[in-house]
Structure 1
Amino acid sequence: MMNERKVPTGILGFPVAPMDDQGRLDAKAFEQNVRFLVEEGLSSIFVCCGSGEFHALSLADYEQMVEVAVSVTKGKVPVYSGVGGNISYALELARLSEKLGADGYLILPPYLIEPEQEGLVRYISNIVESTDLNAIIYQRDNCVLGLKALQKLIEYPQVVGFKDGLGNMELNVELTQSIGQRLAWLNGMPMAEVTMPAYYSIGFTSYSSAISNYIPHISRLFYEALLSGNNELLHELYTYVILPIANIRKQRKGYAVALIKAGMQIIGQPVGTAVRPPLIAVEQEHYMQLERILQIAFDKFPKPSST
């Protein structure tokens, strides 16, 4: 059974949740976002997660986004949804994702509670047991698993991956070296390109790329340079593109989502810059800084011709 499961590899795509003037989901813009990521070679599509403003989606928005993603990808790449928060809602979303044809889901942290390890195992187990879909555990915030807890959870064949957004490298080494290839290891740190060399060295071969929504050719260039050990190219990408964008991202809380929409707007993807509360849109000064960085990115690292 495990060999048949579509486990994410490489660069993972996380589309946004565009809004129209009335604050409603713009399904056409979302479809274009997903299509762009698939055409640009992203290995999998994760919808209704952090970049997709999971915190603010209605059930109708969620259902529409999963439906669109499954329709656009047509099985070319796996589609994962975000489930989490309130356990009852998480179970509803997991079953809905299975019904709509998703390949799996990313388990986001439980709502508010600071649980014991036993409680986290129960929370994740309940979700995993509710469907036969692939499940990826997201290590961050109030969902931090130790080795013993993770070893219990990998008894479920549905648990195929572990995404880290915590950054505790001592714990990551313990987990990867103890569990090995049983799981796919995904780097989910903020601006994951910044930390990817360190993560790659301990077995994390996949990462979520926010910038792939607007400069996917840079994501590919970075990943290829990392795999081939091209340190000179890595240095240039860090200097001119990755670290400057990361520095803007740090300026305001919530820019993780807003900066993606700003980048997409700059390159002509019609998603708008509005974000759902409590997030805030990118300020004009930071927007102009991102424009300048992207101009440098396209000048120094031009997108390869498709011909």
Structure 2
Amino acid sequence: MDFGYLMTAMVTPFTNENALDVNGIRTLIHHLANNGTDTVVIHGTTGEAPTLTLEEKQTLLSVAVEEAANANIKVIAGIGANSTQQAVQMAQLAEQTGADGLMVVVPYYNKPSQEGIYQHIAQVAQSTPLPVLLYNVPGRTGADMSAETALRLAEIDQVFAIKEASGNIDKVTEILRLAPEGFSVYSGDDSLTLPMMAVGAKGVVSVASHIVGREMKQMIDAFASGELQLAASIHHKLFPVMKAMFMAPSPAPVKEALARYRLPGGGVRLPLIGLNEAENMELAAVLEPFLPIASRSVASS
């Protein structure tokens, strides 16, 4: 199964009362599909998965599967957990609900060994026939999947790719150099999409694509077609937006950006907090060239 070049790590829209916004989920999925997204990745880090109840995850997944099918894009369900048993249960639920694939993050907080990381993900992969996207983000999990472990996991039939968010391009190169045919690497950092594609990565699991999805897709397409100067030019243009999405713990910046575009997102749940006044002003300045004229007047009012 092909999940495309541009995946979006989708926020979980909340209402003003901080409840799950079901209509917002539907609207946001269609917005992303219309702006270049090939696959949405739900209840991951950007989706505030640690703050969602099991019931909310089930609702989010059901709605996302239905709307993504209508929008002709795919759904990958984040089933990260620091309990292997819980991750297996979530994987099986995702399969039953109709997800197209799974994203399995390195277990967080426990700080497992490389063998523990391997055994955890292998058990999840063996519990369901769904394609598995590995996710390495040591800045959040406290444990870093080595290239050797990633390559070992790549030998499992269902494991089709890794979202690599360590920022280590040497590691990406090593994985790509030795990976089995058909195994892909996706950047887990927007600003490293083009550099990682230069060494062979397929694309990105993006946050900025909520706001500049068309431009992100144009950059990827330009690189893929050999228009390297154009790709670099788009990268330079988007770089401030890419970095602004992480000026504060994600997804607070992208949710504020969505509000400026009058798109559903809502606030963040504790322990995350919204942007402060200085951060809001900085974000507004970065987004100004990209905002439609109608949205600029709303954002500044």
TM value normalised by structure 2: 0.87
Distance across 2 between alignment mates of 1:216 and 1:25: 24
* Structure 1 residue ranges, 4+ long, deviating more than 4 angstroms after superposition: 228-236
Question: In structure 2, what is the equivalent of residue 305 of structure 1?
Answer: none
Distance across 2 between alignment mates of 1:239 and 1:73: 31
- Report the secondary structure of 1:73's partner residue: helix
The verdict on how the C-alpha distance between 1:132 and 1:231 changes in structure 2, with shifts beyond 3 A counting, is closer
Distance across 1 between alignment mates of 2:15 and 2:105: 26
The verdict on how the C-alpha distance between 1:249 and 1:151 changes in structure 2, with shifts beyond 3 A counting, is closer
Question: In structure 2, what is the equivalent of residue 296 of structure 1?
Answer: 289
Distance across 1 between alignment mates of 2:178 and 2:135: 18
Distance across 2 between alignment mates of 1:94 and 1:178: 28
- Report the secondary structure of 2:37's partner residue: coil
- Report the secondary structure of 1:35's partner residue: helix
- Report the secondary structure of 1:13's partner residue: strand
- 1:242-262 per-residue CA deviation (whole Å, 9 max, x = no partner) reads 33234434543x1x2111111
Distance across 2 between alignment mates of 1:295 and 1:8: 31
Aligned-pair identity in percent equals 22
Could you tell me whether the CA contact under 8 Å between 2:44 and 2:80 is conserved in 1? Answer: no
Could you tell me whether the CA contact under 8 Å between 1:137 and 1:161 is conserved in 2? Answer: yes
Matches within 5 A, 1:18-167: 18-74=13-69, 76-85=72-81, 86-141=83-138, 142-167=142-167
The verdict on how the C-alpha distance between 1:56 and 1:162 changes in structure 2, with shifts beyond 3 A counting, is same
Question: In structure 2, what is the equivalent of residue 248 of structure 1?
Answer: 244
Could you tell me whether the CA contact under 8 Å between 2:162 and 2:185 is conserved in 1? Answer: yes
- 1:240-282 per-residue CA deviation (whole Å, 9 max, x = no partner) reads 4x33234434543x1x21111111111111322x101221212
**More off after superposition, 117-126 vs 243-252:** 243-252
Tell me if 1:261 matches 2:258. no
Q: CA deviation at 1:290?
A: 2.4
Question: In structure 2, what is the equivalent of residue 275 of structure 1?
Answer: 268
Question: In structure 1, what is the equivalent of residue 298 of structure 2?
Answer: none
Distance across 2 between alignment mates of 1:45 and 1:59: 19
The verdict on how the C-alpha distance between 1:180 and 1:204 changes in structure 2, with shifts beyond 3 A counting, is farther
TM value normalised by structure 1: 0.86
Could you tell me whether the CA contact under 8 Å between 2:39 and 2:75 is conserved in 1? Answer: yes
Q: CA deviation at 1:16?
A: 0.9
Could you tell me whether the CA contact under 8 Å between 1:46 and 1:82 is conserved in 2? Answer: yes
**More off after superposition, 37-46 vs 63-72:** 37-46
- Report the secondary structure of 1:262's partner residue: helix
- Report the secondary structure of 2:156's partner residue: coil
Q: CA deviation at 1:228?
A: 4.2
Unpaired runs of 5+ residues, structure 2, are 293-301
Could you tell me whether the CA contact under 8 Å between 2:51 and 2:269 is conserved in 1? Answer: yes
Unpaired runs of 5+ residues, structure 1, are 1-5, 300-307
Equivalent residue for 2:280, pick from 267, 284, 287: 287
Q: CA deviation at 1:147?
A: 4.1
Q: CA RMSD in A?
A: 2.2
Distance across 1 between alignment mates of 2:197 and 2:13: 32
Q: CA deviation at 1:109?
A: 2.2
Aligned residues: 288
Letter in 2 for 1:83: I
